[in-house]
Copies of this chain bind each other. A is one copy, B any other.
Amino acid sequence: MSALTRGNLIIGQSGGATAVINASLVGAVEAALATNRIGAIYGMQHGIEGLLKEEILDLRQQPASLWPRIKQAPSAALGACRYKLQDSDPERVIEILRRYDIRYMLYIGGNDSADTSHRLAAAARQSDYELCIISIPKTIDNDLPFTDHCPGYGSAARFIAQATIDSTMNTVSIPWHYPVKIIETMGRDAGWLTAASALGKRDEQDPPHVILIPEQPFIQDRFLAQVEQIHRRIGHVIIAAAETIRDEQGRSLGASGQVGVDAFQHPLLSGTAQYLVDLVKTRLGLRARFDKPGDLQRMSSTNISSVDQEEAYLVGQAGVQAVLRGESDKMVTLVRHDEPRYHCTTGLVDLEQIANVQRLMPDQYLDESKTMVTTAFQDYALPLLGAPLIHHAHLEK
């Protein structure tokens, strides 16, 4: 596709929000404001679902001083959606874009949003409507392929890593009171966030002692033996568990709390942590309780990774630069460089290769037990967390 000389731009945000999804929005807006090749700058309210209802904001009307403050705010300032395109939707979207003479579109989201962008790009080609559409990666799940990691993951990982350090402090102050603690993290299919609980771990004593991720089957007897052994050795057991853990038959733990499916037919679940608490109590006679930070791990404004925030801003900017070069039907990626020190540049990958593909935790990031990460994982993920984690002082005994 040839690069247009000038056009209107629309930006949308989609899916579960992150602490830095607005940094990508602001990166895009500020890049758009800085060029004379972009006319109107529109925002979809609640993503593609709002666009279909023509719920559109003129972002040039926002005071310029607002953008640095929006950059700091967690969640989607435009509103998000979890909407799967119906068959007639792409054509309707192109019709609306045409009406507003929108030639550039950026859609900030995860796998499902990449699929949406890909289908819209196809519809534009089919309608001979000149449109450059670029997907901007965003997900705390870190499960998009072809990018070193996903903006949003670093901050959520930082939250979980620090929470694991902090909340364990209470357990160890009276280890016999509640010797077993479960920390339930988000993660439906991929264990990246659960694994992040181990980013503050420096030795065998440090938490967590067991991680349970969706990629690995839960083998109950092995788990109970592990918990018992760790309890005997160090007096307490900290377990980080993904919200979805499956047994060897593929059944989810705690699925009795199953509450249906979402618009993408993903099962909605509750209850992994409660299941494990009851299991440990019943089978081992050990008192257990759980922390379930829930949306806080997405949204905590006191745990934002500065690296994550800057990278989110960078991919937003790169999206504008890409559409101005005439790129379309692609997703911005983060390309990692470890020399002279960790930093990222951006790249592009065809959406065809991305949409609905999930990147799971690779084997080299798990040790033999499959219930603990390797130092290779720590080397991969620690730079994404920004400032060093807070490790607490202890009295000398």
Contact = CB atoms under 8 A, between A and B. Distances in A.
A258 to B, nearest CB: 12
Interface string A164-195: 01110111111001000100000000000000
Given A170-B295, A291-B293, A295-B171, A395 B77 contact: yes
Interface in A56-89: 57, 59, 61-63, 66, 69-70, 72-82
Per CB-CB distance, the 6 closest pairs between chain A and chain B, nearest first, are: A291-B294, A75-B169, A69-B393, A73-B392, A167-B295, A302-B302
B395 A66 contact: yes
Most buried by B among A79, A167, A181, A289: A167
A300 B77 contact: no
Contact of A395 (B74, B78, B167, B295): B78
B174 A81 contact: yes
Contacts of A139: none
Interface in A148-171: 162-163, 165-167, 169-171
13 contacts: A57-B395, A61-B396, A66-B395, A66-B396, A73-B394, A74-B169, A74-B170, A82-B174, A163-B300, A166-B299, A170-B299, A259-B287, A270-B274
Contacts of A72: 392-393
Interface of A: 13, 16-17, 43, 45-46, 57, 59, 61-63, 66, 69-70, 72-82, 162-163, 165-167, 169-174, 177, 181, 257, 259, 262, 270-271, 274, 277, 281, 287, 289-296, 298-303, 390, 392-397
Majority DSSP secondary structure for residues of A touching B: loop
B166 A296 contact: yes
A131 B163 CA distance: 41
B293 A75 contact: no
A293 B293 contact: yes
Given A301-B162, A393-B69, A277 B281 contact: no
Contact of A390 (B43, B301, B393): B301
A393 B70 contact: yes
Nearest to A55: B397
A76 B172 CA distance: 9
A287 B263 CA distance: 13
A69 to B, nearest CB: 4
Contacts of A296: 163, 166-167, 291, 293, 296
